[in-house]
């Protein structure tokens, strides 16, 4: 543990976030997502939900403002969208980042996952809870 | 995720528990414990506390009944013992396992850690929360 | 060995089952199947038959109910189907899972094997005994 | 699978037996033995008992006749010895090898295990079922 | 060395033969064959000729009877075929296996080698001595 | 790069700091220190001086307050101590951490280095600039 | 540290420069560049800017004079080009190498990066600061 | 060092030559050749020129006589060919091997290099000095 | 295969011989020797006897003339020494090397094996056939 | 190849020299030295003599002036010392470094080699030509 680093972020996850660059994407996958079937780096986060992780990550990760959309959600195809989306919006709001999200149909979402930088395999039990964050530029 | 397996147990932790044998010990380390300084296998469990993990583990791990003591705690050396011990006792009670714990002075505890089978590095924020479980025999 | 985990499931197999996600498939291969010729993870289970393994696995693995078929068998192309199928049906029945199987012609079966998550190489001596299980969603 | 090779012998076990030389010892460990705590090669044989493995191994492995004892058993310290010893004696008898066994007190047995060539981790559920075989000379 | 295992078969070769399944092929390559140029497992057998190895291997390896041809030879394109073929036929005859061989023109042979399971790099000095064996089913 | 993380801290250094526990020590080595001669993890920081690194690290690393001394310096054995020590004191002061440093004679310093958690190999050109920091407890 | 080698050049970077040949290219990437998303060797240079690195590298690396262009810059698409280009030109001038640079539109630049020999991941904070150097021939 | 083996041949180079088969090619690359940019095994021979290496290699390596050309040179495209070619011819002459060489235009040469067995990275300072040798058959 | 290199010498064995220096020893072990129980490099030579290997090796390996003894044999403790010793003497004689051998009692021989450079695991079936060769100086 | 770097220095040797620190030693071993028998990093320099390498290395490596001796030679125990020492003295003289050498009796030299940082295995044919260089401080 370190000062100022939330405990949800493992050493390996922090290293991964630091190695990501402008335009790279990270997938926060729910507990049923086939994370190991993609040929990508998988960071296990067993026992954790996505909201607590997303909140911790957004303390450090800027979102991409060069593109129209920097957050991608997996759509359930129903009129009533997953409740957890409301939590995501609150976290994005309070992050101070300029965000814009887009729901993707399930198989389009899978398609996008083939190009992510890394996958965080959480134990989120909510269905259709997967979310992709696109990294922006750090201006110092 | 699988049926009947609590989400706190990562795939690697389960594999490790299954590879342990009679008499092997596992250390559930709090967030300040120097887990990587021992030359032992470390399983990260960032973001999790020890009680939820201990409860999950004891669903599968029998305690050793061939010896006097099968649970070791790190003593704070004060009259008032760490409050988290009460939680541990409740979990041990409800596990159905026959248990007996022994507080070890801090440096004796460190000494014992040199021979554990593996270390689970949690983010438990309570101080002096480290605990060692000694595996018993499975009778089929 | 652990409480509640059947001995047929090796530590590596359990880890693999836990890492599988929704839609991932696992092949239980008979003793003559060319398991190592696919570029997939192989888990050896020498000396074991498929029925005992399938029964153990289905204690933990949910079957996929988002698709029409979640069990695939290798067809012998004869009128009289492999007797071991009857055993499989009994095990599926008593598993409590909602299942639906489909026989695949030998070379179509080989084709499907190219996309499985892992292969369990058993010593099942019955011919045409290969079977694929498709993992479903765990709802907690 | 091959002709003339019993299915209980995995490819890795056969390779190991072939690499052993005169005087090397192999431990067939029961399901509760702490096989991974020794700094030795471990060959998993989950789901198998020791008698079927021992019988298969002795088809290929000669016992050492340069020494007084070539089979070591773990003693339970009771008057009534483990029943599984009777099975072992039968298997040794029918193997055609010249054998002589010696019971070792539990901690002496552990001590001897520190020098074995490899450990086969079986799922044998009988207690005190561990057995060490000492390899002899092949005369061609 | 083990009882009943010919000394020409190295531990690694035996492990490889055991991991092969129905339909997998193994190439016994002569001393001039570019064995390491194929992206396949190579097992060195320096100092050995092919006939002694083939005889040893066929003690354990069944030939495939589901297909028309289970032995492939490299043709020298001459009227007078390589003399070593006569030795091969004798060994195949005395193996008890049902065999049928087919000469392949040199470059067709190279083509087939791209899909073999493994290559045994011998020191056979006879020219055009390469031979491929196709594994069959073991019926127990 | 991430928000709030100084650029002097590489991904690997941050991961290392996060894996350190209470009592673990990290050595910031100057450009002439034989960093690779210790059997410890070495993190290269070529082109950087120690002061900028120390300042960045102390934003996250708490110092150990359970012991008398938590900062160790390499003494030059002269009356006039290395000027860079003044910079170190300023950085420690402004870090907000409770610190206490101790100069160690050169060979005693080398001795202590044998037990550090990791070594950061900087390009600091000041002589006798090596410094060890001892990690404390994070209270959340 | 060595005599005559600037401290900005890490041991790994020097080894890489020495292994490059005629026509190979090296990318000096700014702090926001997604360096790890290319399937190329990445050399971390955290805390360093590009100008100091370029100056150090050009002491050893000849530029390619067989081609029209041997330096590639990432264009910002604006009339006012990145100020850091002026620094680059000064360094190139004083290097004594015969150079010629070409601005590439952002996505063309990304395309070229797919074929570089290695990427140096700096912490350069200037935007659009990425630069590629093409190695020439050493005449001795 | 061994009797009868020239010192220019490193242990790794000798092993590589022995693993090559009929038709495999080895590239002796000059000091400016981008040897590490090909996805091939590279054997460093820093400080050595090509003639001394070629002479040493041809003591052991037979040239291929099944094809029209068994030596390939990189053409400089000028009327006056590289002087080092004369040295090569002398070495080939005195090797006793039956040889025939062909100059290849620079980019055709690069193309051929994509299929060589290995590359020896020498420090030959002559330009356009690269040469490929094609291995023949050893008749015993 | 190469010109002038006997086929009994595998690529790995040749590389090993070349890496040995003055005073290093190599053990040619018979088929019953526990070659893999020593913490040394093992080179398999399955199917070969020791005499053919020794003859091939001595074509390249000089024996040490700085010491009294440069060949060590394993003594059977009987009046009648192993017949294979006669073959060894003939090979040593015809090698042109200045040799002197010493029989070592079995356990003293084992002791010496702990310091050899490498072990060649042959299939020599003669008993007490193990032999150690001590490398000398190559004078060029 | 790079500008200003002598071709005798391989990429790996340069990396090693850069990783050495104050007081670390490097052994330039002659062709008969048992370089691989020490548990140290070995850098092959086949085909090169020690003088050309030493001259190249001393362009970059400062010698240690904190100690009485910074160059160690292997003594032949004769009145007439190895002639190559004269070459060494000339190279040291012209290096501009302040040096002082000490002959060590052969077995004392071997003893010292156990603590060197790395060994360069040359093909130097002069006997008793081994030399150790002790690295000093770089002052910038």
What is the spatial distance between Cα H45 and Cα H37, in angstroms, rounded to a whole number? 17
What is the spatial distance between Cα E111 and Cα E107, in angstroms, rounded to a whole number? 6
* Statement: residue E77 has pLDDT above 90: yes
Q: List, for residues A50-80, the tens digit of each pLDDT value.
A: 999 999 999 999 999 999 999 999 999 999 9
Which of B6, B15, B22, B56 should one mutate to test binding to chain C, selecting the residue with the greatest count of C CBs within 10 A?
B15
Q: I–F contact (≥3 CB pairs within 8 Å)?
A: no
pLDDT (0 to 100) of residue H140: 80
Q: List, for residues F40-98, the tens digit of each pLDDT value.
A: 999 999 999 999 999 999 999 999 999 999 999 999 999 999 999 999 999 999 999 99
Cβ of I10 under 8 Å from any chain E Cβ? yes
- In angstroms, what separates the C-alpha of G24 from chain J's closest C-alpha? 12
Residue G37, CA distances (Å) to A116, G109, G113 in order = 9, 14, 11
Q: List, for residues G19-68, the tens digit of each pLDDT value.
A: 999 999 999 999 999 999 999 999 999 999 999 999 999 999 999 999 99
Domain assignment of residue F5, yes or no: no
- I31: chain D residues, CB-CB within 8 Å: 138, 140
pLDDT (0 to 100) of residue B140: 80
Average pLDDT of chain I is 97
I46 to E10: CB separation less than 8 angstroms, yes or no:
yes
Indicate which residue of G64, G88, G99, G128 is catalytic.
G64
Average pLDDT of chain H is 97
Domain assignment of residue H30, yes or no: yes
What is the spatial distance between Cα J60 and Cα G3, in angstroms, rounded to a whole number? 5
CB-defined contacts C:E, below 8 A: 29
The chains found to touch A (3+ Cβ pairs under 8 angstroms) are: B, C, F, G
Comparing CB atoms, the residue among D5, D16, D138 nearest residue E3 is D138
* Statement: residue J140 has pLDDT above 90: no
Give I79's pLDDT tier (boundaries 50, 70, 90): very high
Among residues E51, E42, E49, E59, which one has the least CA distance to residue E2? E59
- I7: chain H residues, CB-CB within 8 Å: 140
- E36: chain H residues, CB-CB within 8 Å: 19-21, 24, 117
| Distance between first and last Cα of chain G | 26
Average pLDDT over every residue of I5-14: 98
Give E39's pLDDT tier (boundaries 50, 70, 90): very high
Q: B–E contact (≥3 CB pairs within 8 Å)?
A: no
Indicate which residue of I38, I64, I88, I99 is catalytic.
I64
B45 to A48: CB separation less than 8 angstroms, yes or no:
no
Average pLDDT over every residue of C3-24: 98
Give C76's pLDDT tier (boundaries 50, 70, 90): very high
Could you tell me how far CA I30 lies from the centroid of its own chain? 10
Divide the 140 residues of chain D into consecutive groups of 10 and give the mean pLDDT of each group: 98 98 98 97 98 98 97 96 98 97 97 98 97 95
Indicate which residue of H64, H88, H99, H128 is catalytic.
H64
Average pLDDT over every residue of C73-83: 96
φ, ψ for residue C54, nearest 5 deg: -60, -40
Cβ of A139 under 8 Å from any chain G Cβ? yes
Given a cut of 70, the residues of chain A with pLDDT beneath it are none
Cβ of C46 under 8 Å from any chain D Cβ? yes
Q: Does residue E29 contact residue E122 with C-beta atoms inside 8 Å?
A: yes
Average pLDDT over every residue of J119-125: 98
Q: Does residue J115 contact residue J79 with C-beta atoms inside 8 Å?
A: no
Domain assignment of residue B60, yes or no: yes
pLDDT (0 to 100) of residue G140: 80
Helix J84-95 with J50-57: angle, nearest 10 deg? 10
What's the total number of domains in chain J? 1
Paired with H135 in beta bridges are H63
Cβ of D23 under 8 Å from any chain I Cβ? yes
B138 to D34: CB separation less than 8 angstroms, yes or no:
no
- In angstroms, what separates the C-alpha of H116 from chain J's closest C-alpha? 22
G32 to A24: CB separation less than 8 angstroms, yes or no:
no
Domain assignment of residue F35, yes or no: yes
- B41: chain F residues, CB-CB within 8 Å: none
- I3: chain H residues, CB-CB within 8 Å: 59-62, 138
* Statement: residue I73 has pLDDT above 90: yes
Please give the full DSSP string across D70-131, using - where no structure is assigned.
-EEEE--SSSS--THHHHHHHHHHHHT----EEEE-HHHHHHHHTT-SEEEEE---STT--E
User: What is the value of ipTM here, to two decimals?
Assistant: 0.97
- In angstroms, what separates the C-alpha of E115 from chain H's closest C-alpha? 18
B33 to F21: CB separation less than 8 angstroms, yes or no:
yes
* Statement: residue C140 has pLDDT above 90: no
- Verify whether residue C22 is a known catalytic residue: yes
Indicate which residue of G12, G75, G101, G110 is catalytic.
G110
- CB proximity list for A29: less than 8 A, separation 6 or greater: A35, A119, A120, A121, A122, A124, A130, C21
Collapsed DSSP state (helix, strand, coil) of residue A34: coil
Structure tokens at E47: 């100092």
CATH number of the domain within which B71 lies: 3.40.1650.10
Domain assignment of residue F4, yes or no: no
- In angstroms, what separates the C-alpha of E9 from chain I's closest C-alpha? 7
Structure tokens at E7: 């000394």
Average pLDDT of chain G is 97
C32 to E21: CB separation less than 8 angstroms, yes or no:
yes
Among residues I27, I25, I24, I47, which one has the least CA distance to residue I35? I27
Domain assignment of residue J140, yes or no: no
Give F140's pLDDT tier (boundaries 50, 70, 90): confident
Q: List, for residues C47-63, the tens digit of each pLDDT value.
A: 999 999 999 999 999 99
- C123: chain D residues, CB-CB within 8 Å: 1, 7-8
Average pLDDT over every residue of I66-81: 96
H1 to J45: CB separation less than 8 angstroms, yes or no:
no
pLDDT (0 to 100) of residue A140: 80
Domain assignment of residue C6, yes or no: no
G10 to F44: CB separation less than 8 angstroms, yes or no:
yes
Structural domain that includes position D102: 12-134
- CB proximity list for G46: less than 8 A, separation 6 or greater: F7, F8, F9, F10, F11, F13, F45, G121, G122, G123
- Verify whether residue A36 is a known catalytic residue: no
Cβ of E25 under 8 Å from any chain C Cβ? no
Structure tokens at A61: 């990760």
Among residues B109, E135, F16, H55, which one has the least CA distance to residue A14? F16
Q: Beta strand B131-134 with B71-74: parallel, antiparallel or unpaired?
A: antiparallel
Domain assignment of residue I6, yes or no: no
Comparing CB atoms, the residue among G22, G138, G140 nearest residue H34 is G22
* Statement: residue G5 has pLDDT above 90: yes
pTM for the structure as a whole: 0.97
J140 to G14: CB separation less than 8 angstroms, yes or no:
no
Cβ of B9 under 8 Å from any chain A Cβ? yes
Comparing CB atoms, the residue among F29, F33, F37 nearest residue J117 is F37
F19 to B33: CB separation less than 8 angstroms, yes or no:
no
Average pLDDT over every residue of I121-133: 97
- In angstroms, what separates the C-alpha of E57 from chain D's closest C-alpha? 10
- A140: chain F residues, CB-CB within 8 Å: 1, 7
- Verify whether residue I110 is a known catalytic residue: yes
Q: Does residue A20 contact residue A132 with C-beta atoms inside 8 Å?
A: no
Give J125's pLDDT tier (boundaries 50, 70, 90): very high
Q: List, for residues H87-111, the tens digit of each pLDDT value.
A: 999 999 999 999 999 999 999 999 9
Average pLDDT over every residue of C74-101: 97
Q: Which residue of C has its CA nearest to B3?
A: C60
Cβ of A45 under 8 Å from any chain B Cβ? yes
Q: List, for residues G74-131, the tens digit of each pLDDT value.
A: 999 999 999 999 999 999 999 999 999 999 999 999 999 999 999 999 999 999 999 9
Q: Does residue J74 contact residue J104 with C-beta atoms inside 8 Å?
A: yes
Q: Which residue of G has its CA nearest to F53?
A: G47
Cβ of I109 under 8 Å from any chain D Cβ? no
Indicate which residue of D24, D30, D38, D64 is catalytic.
D64
* Statement: residue H23 has pLDDT above 90: yes
Cβ of H43 under 8 Å from any chain J Cβ? no
């Amino acid at each position: 543990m370190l000062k100022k680093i939330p405990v949800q972020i493992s050493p390996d996850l922090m290293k991964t976030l630091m190695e990501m660059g402008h335009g790279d994407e990270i997938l926060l996958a729910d507990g049923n997502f086939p994370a190991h079937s993609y040929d990508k780096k998988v960071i296990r986060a067993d026992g954790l939900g996505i909201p607590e992780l997303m909140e911790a990550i957004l303390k450090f990760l800027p979102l991409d403002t060069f593109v129209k959309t920097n957050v991608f959600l997996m759509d359930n195809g129903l009129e009533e969208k997953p409740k957890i989306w409301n939590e995501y919006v609150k976290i994005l709001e309070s992050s101070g980042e300029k965000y814009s999200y887009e729901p993707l149909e399930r198989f389009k979402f899978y398609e996008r996952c083939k190009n992510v930088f890394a996958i965080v395999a959480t134990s989120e039990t909510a269905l259709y809870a997967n979310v992709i964050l696109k990294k922006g530029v750090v201006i110092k």
